[in-house]
A and B are shown apart, each in its own frame.
Chain A
Amino acid sequence: DAGVTQSPTHLIKTRGQQVTLRCSPKSGHDTVSWYQQALGQGPQFIFQYYEEEERQRGNFPDRFSGHQFPNYSSELNVNALLLGDSALYLCASSLGQEETQYFGPGTRLLVL
């Protein structure tokens, strides 16, 4: 039973660039949520996708956008990168209204 997978594992970008992170949900799951975890802090909710639509969004600027594909996989895009965007980006999947979210290994983004 494949768990949540994310790619890439690590990424280095410079300020002003754009980045795309990818997530494949756990087998059988249809809902994907994205979180940002700064060093030494708890994860912060970015947004959630279900049925290819953004269903809920946290307190993040429009530079953060996403997409969900028909196979339930998802992408997180961040434009005009800032130094403060350096963080661990976590993807979590769940089954519809099922409450338990299962997390992937994350993508570590460093913005120089």
Chain B
Amino acid sequence: AQKVTQAQTEISVVEKEDVTLDCVYETRDTTYYLFWYKQPPSGELVFLIRRNSFDEQNEISGRYSWNFQKSTSSFNFTITASQVVDSAVYFCALSELRSSGSARQLTFGSGTQLTVLP
């Protein structure tokens, strides 16, 4: 069975600090996808990034960067120079590729509540 662990329940930083959100996953499959979603207080999950298990290159998008390491089964997310608007709950998720080719469900971690203080 697949599992996603986000050990950090809550993180609080001061604006302009860098912050890293940890994500560790478990899966028996060799082919899978990893995701990060942001959930502001409004409740809607906002898609941030998707990574294929075959692609371990780190990715940077503006102030966001992601570090994918298969050797440690981790997919960590770093926000550089954090801003108050970054305050939200962040979820890491895993999707396994099914042999039937259909219906890939997302398995989510429990989320990390990030609070950025002005």
Contact = CB atoms under 8 A, between A and B. Distances in A.
A5 to B, nearest CB: 11
Nearest to B91: A42
A100 B105 contact: no
Contacts of B37: 103
Interface stretch (B57-65, B73-81, B96-104): B96-104
B50 interface: yes
Interface size bracket, A side: 20 to 34
A86 to B, nearest CB: 14
Interface stretch (A17-25, A50-58, A72-80): A50-58
Contact of B106 (A101, A106, A108): A101
Contacts of B101: 97
Given A100-B47, A105-B44, A33 B105 contact: yes
Nearest to A90: B45
Interface size bracket, B side: 20 to 34
Contact of A102 (B42, B47, B91, B110): B47
B67 interface: no
Contacts of A40: 110
B82 interface: no
Nearest to A6: B44
A88 B108 CA distance: 15
Contacts of A99: 33, 50, 95, 104
5 contacts: A42-B93, A43-B106, A48-B103, A90-B45, A97-B104
Question: Across chains A and B, which 7 residue pairs bring their CB atoms closest together, nearest first?
Answer: A56-B103, A42-B108, A55-B103, A103-B45, A45-B105, A105-B44, A106-B43
